[in-house]
Amino acid sequence: MTEEIIKENDLIYLILDDRRKWLVKVESGGEFHTHKGIIKFDDLIGKSFGSVIFSRPYETQGYKFYIFKPLPSDYVTYMSRKTQIIYPEDAGLILIYTGIGPGSKVVEAGCGSGALTCILGNYVRPEGHIFSYDIREKSLKRAQRNVINANLQDFVSIQFGDILNDDLGHTNVDSVVLDMPQPWKAVEKIKSYLKLSGTFVSFSPAIEQVKKTTFALQENGFYEINTYELSKRKFQVKENATHPEVRMIGHTGYMTFARKIQDVRNPYREKKPKRDEFVELNGMPLRG
Examine residue 276 and state whether it is found in any structural domain, yes or no: no
- Both 39 and 174 in a single domain? no
pLDDT of residue 181: 93
Q: Could you list the pLDDT tens digit for every one of the 288 residues in the chain?
A: 578 899 998 889 999 998 899 989 899 999 999 999 999 999 999 999 999 999 999 989 999 999 999 887 787 777 655 555 678 889 999 999 999 999 999 999 999 889 899 999 999 999 999 999 999 999 899 999 989 888 899 999 999 999 999 999 999 999 999 999 999 999 999 999 999 999 999 999 999 999 999 999 999 999 999 999 988 888 889 888 898 887 767 778 899 999 999 888 888 876 666 676 666 777 767 665
State the residue range of the domain holding 23: 11-68
Task: Please state the φ and ψ torsions of residue 92, each to the nearest 5 degrees.
Answer: -65, -40
Q: What 3-state class would DSSP assign to 191?
A: helix
The pTM of this model reads 0.77
Task: Please state the φ and ψ torsions of residue 66, each to the nearest 5 degrees.
Answer: -100, 140
Q: Would you give the end-to-end CA distance of the chain in angstroms?
A: 76
Total structural domains within the chain: 2
- Both 62 and 151 in a single domain? no
List, in order, residues 6 or more apart from 83 with CB less than 8 Å away.
112, 113, 139
CATH number, domain at 26? 3.10.330.20
pLDDT of residue 236: 86
- Both 17 and 120 in a single domain? no
- Both 90 and 212 in a single domain? yes
- Both 111 and 59 in a single domain? no
**What is the Cα–Cα distance from 130 to 105, expressed in whole angstroms?**
6
- Both 17 and 96 in a single domain? no
Looking at residue 60, what DSSP letter applies? T
**264, amino acid identity:** V
pLDDT of residue 288: 56
Examine residue 4 and state whether it is found in any structural domain, yes or no: no
H/E stretch holding 190 reads: helix 187-191
**What is the Cα–Cα distance from 213 to 219, expressed in whole angstroms?**
10
- Both 170 and 219 in a single domain? yes
- Which residues, listed in sequence order, are joined to residue 160 by a DSSP beta bridge? 134
Are 215 and 184 in contact by the 8 Å Cβ rule? The answer is yes
